[in-house]
Each structure stands twice: as structure tokens, then as C-alpha cells.
Amino acid sequence: MKPIKRELGTCYYPEHWPDDIWKDDAQKMADLGLKWVRIGEFAWSRLEPRETEFCFEWLDRAVDILGKAGLSVVLGTPTAAPPTWVLKKYPDMLAVDSEGRRREFGSRRHYCFSHEGYREQCSIIVRKLAEHYGSNPYIEAWQTDNEYGCHDTTISYSSSALKSFQHWLAKVYGNDVNKLNEDWGNVFWSMEYQSYDEIRLPNLTVTEPNPSHALAFRRFTSSQVSSFNRIQTEIIREYSSAPIIHNFMGRITDFDHFEVGEDLDIASWDSYPLGFLLDRAGATEEEKFQFLRQGDPDFQAFHHDLYRSVGDGRWWVMEQQPGPVNWAPYNPEPLPGMIRLWTWEAFAHGAETVSYFRWRQVPFAQEQMHSGLLQPDSAPAPGYFEAKQIKEELVASPIISSGSSDVAIYFDYDSDAAWQVQPMGENLNYFQLVMDHYRAIRRLGLNVDFVHKKTKDFSRYKIISVVGAIHISSQLISRISSDKALVIFGPRTGAKVGNMKIPKKLPPNIDLVKSRIVRVETLPPNESLDIDPFGNAIRYIETLKLDSNASPYLKLKNGKVIATREGSGAIYLGAMVDRDGLIGFYQKLFEEIELDFVLMPDGVRRRCTENEEFWFNYNDKVIQTKIGDIQPADVIRLRLV
């Protein structure tokens, strides 16, 4: 891969500060070695305080000051925070939650993606910004909106969503609603419809809604996010050739990021390792204590690799945690050195830019307790000094190539939706299943790529893991297996056909797997079954009827087969497996195909680029490794010959 110059940035809100300090701020940013500054993404009330009254003079001055200081500006569209006059104009634009309650004004992301009036209002402000700044030499990138899906704002049960959903279904199924009835199995419980306008949204039902109905609504909702984003990108491209970015979030899976990524030039995400450890990483209580000030050793890397795929190789960290945040259950201070570690880890995974949120801690409103590179009094905060150290290190080696991988994991947002619709057990979910497999491969010291249904080239990989993909097409399986990669399927891959139906010949609906699943059981988290010779089967276990050409690959100690090697050479794993079991499973596979690996110490991870090997210590203590002792929160860079 082409070596890329790595750069630093920050997020700045000139509207929060008196304009007589803007110039000093810009100079300090440049002196710190920052290249990029993101602005504007929440400034709609200052850009258009009243409808059609546009006030760009203040932003003109800010852009000019930043640009003349040698900084490159990312200009955000302000559509994540519409002002009060927009709501007065469209009082029904607010999203509605699953309990039928409106998500009211007074925060952010207070809109429904399906509201046509709001879409038109967004088009107006985006066009005005693009017209005004499209040829400005200091605007070197654009950001659309901000953090689609954050605060559970993707799915809305509003009247606008209902109307749009009915129209969407009519396009999918055509004039004959009976095609929908057949596909959804609506004969069950007399749920058959006579027309599309009879169909409601799948909330507030007496018990669970039809899973086909619920999944269709999730697919519709995902398409609404993509079309909303596309409105903005198409307008911006009329006036500007600068790259367009969106800043995704950690573990937000309720819309298809790959589909949104098709309309972007660069994918980015907002990395908050300590907050994510405590509110979404799936860590145990022991791990939360162990990594309280460092973050989960795999959660950041998972998203680095995922968004590298979403961006087709081009990606940033748009917001990097620089100190304590304000929104997690608890908000500890990072261990000294961790901001540097998080930054270098992003660069090692191919990030072009790491941008810190934010430049200065704000003394008012909801995020006043969120750290910045500067304190509210403008004195440097601890994160400032770690950013300064990184800047000095980048001067010595600004060019870092991106690493390649022999191992890929398939990721599918539609599968995540299907798991959420029909989890088959409390807290069972697709994301955690994929994360468990990713974590095991990382523990063995290997790079990982993510692939998806529109990936063009699978030929570079020696192993491709496809787990939990409830709906997967024969054409995609053929593409994945057309080269010589060892393909691993399961559990639940190919479990459904059409729109959440069990295949007539039983799952999995995979040409390469002839064995069949005859039963499924799910277990509580305190129950497990021993695997011979390592680990445990947990949570989700399938009963397999082996094909005559298949052989057992992994058994429980009671003799039950939970993995097969099929006649095609593919492996089907019919169970969720704990961490020790997955490490043993992949270690066995890697040894079989003679793929070199290194079993990493707990909390230590490795990333290899074309010419360097990075080791990251997520522990708060010295760890002994094969390359020597690694200090707490340290990064070791080894030059490869």
C-alpha cells in the first residue's frame, strides 16, 4: 500500500469564544504541529439565526484566520443541530421513540431522517455553505452532519417514518401487497394486509412484532440515513472538489455504514476509549477495572479496521479523546501515555489524520466537563503535552505505510439488524460475536481486514471468517470462496432465506456446507459446555447433522460435534465459543495452513505495516514480551528489514 503522511488535527468552535482570541488560538494550533481544524458542525443558529437570514461574516473571519496560520479547515454541515425556528416551521420533524414519545428540542440530533420538510431545509443550508465556501482555498475537506445514529437517533417511529415506510414497501413489493404477505408469512396470527396503507410501524405491539416486518423496517431506516447523507454530498460536489467525510461512532450498527461510505471520499470515526470501555465495549467487570484508564485493547483497533474498509482504504479519527469525558457511567483520567498510544495505534492501522476533541474545554452547556487540549482558562491540559510529543515524533518519521493482512472478517450491518430483531437469547448480538473472533485473531498477533458484500477483491486473504451472517447470498459466497482462502462459517450464517424464513432444507443456506442444523439452543451466561481439548461453548449452540462428506473438526467433551470440516474444505463452527476456545480454534487453523502468529500477552497487541512492527501495551504495568519489557501505556516501534 502507498505510504501516507500522518497528520494531527483538532475540533474548534470559534462561535464559543470571543473573536479576539481566534488568532492566538490558530497560532498555538500551528505551533503544536496541528494540520487540520474541524469547525461549523453545530453552528446553524449562528449561520442562519432566522430563516433565509444568512450570517457568514463571522465564519469567514474564522476560516481566514485559521487558513493564514497554515491550518487546513474541515467545514461541517450543521444539520445535526437545527435551531428553534426550524422546529417551529416543522413541528412534526422530531423523531419518535419506540414508546411513542417525541424526542424534544434542547439537545442535538433532534430530527427524523424521513421528514421531507427537514430534508429540504437541510438542502438549503448545505447549498448556501457550498456556494459560499466551495472555492475557498482554506476549506480542504467537508464533513456531513455529525455522528449519524448517536444517542439512538437512527430509528424513528414518527408519522413521517410511517408514510415513507409504506411507500418504500410498495417500491420493494410492487402493486400486489400479497407478495409482501407471502414473504412475511402474514398468514400467521391473521396478520395479512389488504393494502400498504394498513401497515403500521413495528412498535407498541402486544408482544413481539413479526420479525420480517421488524427487519424490513430496519432496512428501510438504514436506507433513509444513506439517502439523507447523499442529499448533502451531491450538493457539496456541485461546488467543491474537496474530499467529503462523515464521522461515524463506536458500535453504532443500526444503519449500513458501507452504503453511506459509498458517497464519501474518506470515512472517519470518533474514538473515546475510556467512555466506550464502560458503556459499550462488552467488557467484563474485571476488564473494566483492569483497563479503566487505558481502554479496551481491541475496541479501538476493531473500529480502525472497520472504517478503513468503509472508506475503501481512506480513513481518519475525527475526534480522539484527550482526557476525561463527561458522558460515560464513570469518567476516569487516561493513564499517562495513553493519548499517545491511541494516536500511534490509529496511525499504525492506516489513519491519515488523528484529530483531538476538542481544542479548549468549554465552560458552559452539556459538554463543559469534557476535556480539551487546553483547559477552560487556556492553560495546556495533559493531552496537549502528549500531542506535542507525537508532533515531535512525527517530524522524525511522518511517513507510515499501512499494513496488509492475511486474515479477513466479513462484517454485515444487515446481519446485526437481523440478530437484534431475533436474538434467540438475552444480550445475544452480532457485533459481540464478530468482536470475539476479531479479539482472538488479534491475541495471536495478526493484522485483520474487514470485508463486506461489495468488497471487490478477496484474493489476498488466506483465511476469511464469516460468522453470524444470517442472510448471505450464494453469489457472495461464490466470490469469497473463488480463490484459495480457507473459509470459516458460523454460527448462524445462512440461517435464513428471503426475509427471515428458515430454509426448507434447513440451515445453513450455504452451498459449501452440506451438514445441517437440526436444533438450536441458547444458554444463560453462567452456563457453558466444555470443548475438547480447549475452551467452552457458550450462549448459542447448534446441533449439527453431518453430511456424509463432512468430518468432525471440534467436539464437546460429551462427544457432540460443534464444528465440521466440509467436503468443500470449508469449516462450519456451530457455536459461540469463549475467548480461550476461540484462541485455540484459530491457533489450530493457523498452524494447519502454516500462517505465522505470535500469542500476545494479556493487554499487549501488535500491528505490522510494510516496514514496521508496532507493539502496544494497554496495561498499567510493565509487561515482559519476546521483544523485551514494555513499559505501561508504551508504544514500541521496530523497523523491519
> Which residue type sits at 86?
V
Beta bridge partners, 545, equal 516
Catalytic choice (7, 41, 48, 147): 147
**Buried b / exposed e along 379-403 (16+ C-beta atoms within 10 A):** eebbbbebbbebbebbeeeeebebb
DSSP designation for 326: S
Show the CA angle centred on residue 189, arms to residues 186 and 190, nearest 5°: 65
What angle, rounded to 10 degrees, do the helices at 382-396 and 22-32 form?
A: 50
CA distances from 462 to 129, 488, 555, 582 (A): 47, 11, 24, 18
Q: How far apart are CA 387 and CA 6, in angstroms?
A: 13
Known catalytic residue at 53: no
- How many CB atoms lie under 10 A from the CB of residue 203? 15
User: Exposed, middle or buried, 109 (CB in 10 Å: 0-12/13-18/19+)?
Assistant: buried
Q: Return d(Cα 225, Cα 174) in angstroms, integer.
A: 23
H or E element that contains 11: strand 7-11
| Cis upstream peptide for 508 (omega within 30°) | yes
Q: At what angle do helices 413-421 and 430-443 cross, to 10 degrees?
A: 130
For residue 114, which of 275, 231, 258, 194 has the smallest C-alpha distance?
A: 231
Q: Is 319 a catalytic residue?
A: yes
Q: How many CB atoms lie within 10 A of CB 100?
A: 11
Instruction: Give the span between the Cα atoms of 485 and 403, in whole angstroms.
Output: 19
Bridge partners (DSSP) listed for residue 354: 8, 317
Angle between helices 22-32 and 57-68 (to 10 degrees): 30
Q: Which residues contact 37 (CB under 8 A, 6 or more apart)?
A: 9, 10, 11, 12, 26, 29, 66, 71, 72, 73, 74, 359
Using an 8 Å Cβ cutoff, are 91 and 158 in contact? no
Instruction: Report the Cα 235 to chain-centroid distance in Å.
Output: 25
**In sequence order, what E strands does 403-560 have?**
407-410, 449-451, 463-466, 486-489, 516-522, 528-532, 536-545, 551-556
Q: Is 140 helix (H, G, I), strand (E, B) or coil?
A: strand
- The sign of the torsion formed by the CA atoms of 198, 201, 205, 209 equals positive
Strands 407-410 and 449-451: parallel
Alpha carbons 217 and 113: distance in angstroms, whole number:
13
Q: Which amino acid is present at 277?
A: L
DSSP conformation class of 15: G
Which among 41, 48, 319, 352 is annotated as catalytic? 319
- Burial-class residue 198 by CB neighbours within 10 Å (0-12, 13-18, 19+): exposed
CA-nearest of 545, 396, 410 to 469 is: 410
Which residues neighbour 323 within 8 Å (Cβ) at sequence distance 6 or greater?
333, 334, 339, 371, 372, 381, 382, 383
| Residues acting as catalytic residues | 147, 319
